[in-house]
Amino acid sequence: MNVIIAENYEDGARKAADLIEKIVRDNPACTLGLATGSSPVGMYQELARRCKEEGLDFSHVHSVNLDEYVGLEGTHDQSYRYFMNTNLFDHINIDKANTYVAKGVGDVEANLKEFNEVLDQTDIDIQVLGVGPDGHLGFNEPGDTLYDGAHEETLEDSTIEANKRFFASKEDVPTHALTMGMGNIMRAKRLLMIISGNKQEAATKLLMEDKIDPHCPCTFMRMHRDATVVIEKKLAQEIGYIH
């Protein structure tokens, strides 16, 4: 695993954007696997700036997102479709018809079938990842076994707690989500994880231990042959990765 230490959040956003920019410039028709959460927001802002000011061209880029809440319309301001539109797609010259976020409403089985079909037809050049405090990737929650393909997850209480800051109350946080499976994530050609915030436990298991642990899904990243982790210096020091 390639570990990049960032001075702070903004520096991490720039360093992560450098990796995405290289992929887009090398292959303007690449497919980006994208993620939501506060960790990649700075990178998305930086990519939007480079699109506007430096001609970084997304017009032939395709994208597919990691996950979506069950029960939220794409127009709901906490849906991940809305997040992607407002944090990235509305600010770059991507064709929204080339972007895919799983449907959160309607028939769950049909939505999952469509999500799996899209993933089966897609070769992801780089998958962006954040990480949950419990080590979840997308919404692959810790457990004795993990899933290969896209599936529905019941969210852990700790995940609902962590994400309630975006909703009016904890009761408003959806209890279920559709997510790429671990197999979908691991089949991406490259992985790019941005670790930011209170992620000491997940970061310790990922960077300081040698175990692949389904109870901490992010540890599976260690098995990928082209994985990069961008971590803020302060957090890297807190977990003893650097001094």
Q: Which residues make up the interface to ligand GLP (CB under 6 A)?
A: 35-39, 66-67, 130-132, 138-139, 159, 163, 197
**195: three-class secondary structure by DSSP:** strand
Between 39 and 99, name the residue whose CB sits nearer to ligand GLP. Answer: 39
Is the CB of 44 or the CB of 58 nearer to ligand GLP?
44
Question: Going by C-beta distance under 8 Å and a sequence separation of 6 or more, which residues neighbour residue 11?
Answer: none
For residue 105, what are its two tokens?
A: 């409403």
**Residue number with CB closer to ligand GLP (16 or 66):** 66
Residue 110: CB partners within 8 Å, gap ≥ 6? none
Q: How far is the CB of 132 from ligand GLP (least distance, A)?
A: 5
Positive/negative CA dihedral, 64, 65, 69, 75: negative
- Closest approach, Cβ 163 to ligand GLP, in A, equals 6
Q: Which is nearer to ligand GLP, 104 or 130 (CB)?
A: 130
Instruction: Please identify, using beta-carbon distances, which residue of 100 and 139 lies nearer to ligand GLP.
Output: 139
* C-alpha 21, offset from chain centre: 17
> In angstroms, what is the minimal distance from the CB of 227 to ligand GLP?
15
Please state the closest distance from residue 159 (CB atom) to ligand GLP, in A. Answer: 6
Considering the complex, what minimum distance in angstroms separates the CB of residue 113 from ligand GLP?
A: 21
The two tokens of residue 57 are 């061209």
Name the residue among 226, 229, 220, 33 with its Cα closest to residue 124.
33
